[in-house]
């Protein structure tokens, strides 16, 4: 899979990583951290969650190597700790049911909260293995080649999958 040179891609393969991804709030935290580092307080407010829960889930993501410390800042006699993702993109080579279910659940929550219209389509196609491989390559290319706008622009989520139906 190709990617832009200025972008980091992290492969998800360890059981601890799959377990960390198997919770919708952790998925939403990763979404929230996609644009810039943030604090527990800001993340809690943004996601409508309590700070204790956000702290716990950030710790789990950190232990799985998906989130890391992004520094601190002194404010009004206290210290704010910032967190960031360890990569711009995560690539799951061998998806596991729990993590995939959590990912779809988190995407569903984001779709529900989206302030603008979105695209959600499901289509079943009869394709030869060769044609399916070309489609995967084309979709991956489209995802990889889409250039982002400047910081401050709205953040959009993109989830692309092509799978063969079992028993089909």
Q: Which domains does the chain have, with CATH numbers?
A: 9-116 (1.10.10.10)
- What does each of the 168 residues of the chain score in pLDDT, given as a tens digit? 444 445 688 998 888 898 898 888 998 899 899 878 999 999 999 999 999 999 999 999 999 999 999 999 988 888 899 999 999 888 887 888 887 887 788 788 888 888 888 888 888 999 999 999 999 999 989 988 888 777 777 778 888 888 888 875
Q: What ranges make up the beta strands (E) of 32-150?
A: 38-39, 67-75, 78-85, 89-92
The model carries a pTM of: 0.73
What the block records as the tokens of 135 is 């489609």
Polymer length in residues for the chain: 168
- Number of Cβ within 10 Å of residue 64's Cβ equals 19
What the block records as the tokens of 160 is 């692309």
Answer yes or no: are the C-beta atoms of 27 and 102 closer than 8 Å.
yes
Place of tokens 């044609």: 131
């Amino acid at each position: 899979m190709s990617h832009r040179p200025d972008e980091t891609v992290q492969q998800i393969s360890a059981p601890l990583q799959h377990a960390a991804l198997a919770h919708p709030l952790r998925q939403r935290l990763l979404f929230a951290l996609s644009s810039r580092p943030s604090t527990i307080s800001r993340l809690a407010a943004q996601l409508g969650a309590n700070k204790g829960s956000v702290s716990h889930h950030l710790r789990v993501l950190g232990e799985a190597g998906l989130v890391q410390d992004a520094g601190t800042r002194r404010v009004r006699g206290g210290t704010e700790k910032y967190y960031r993702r360890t990569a711009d993109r995560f690539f799951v080579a061998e998806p596991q049911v729990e993590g995939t279910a959590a990912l779809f659940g988190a995407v569903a929550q984001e779709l529900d909260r989206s302030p603008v219209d979105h695209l959600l389509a499901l289509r079943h196609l009869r394709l030869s293995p060769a044609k399916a491989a070309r489609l995967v390559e084309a979709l991956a290319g489209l995802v990889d080649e889409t250039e982002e706008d400047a910081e401050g622009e709205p953040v959009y989520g993109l989830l692309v999958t092509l799978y063969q139906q079992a028993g089909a």
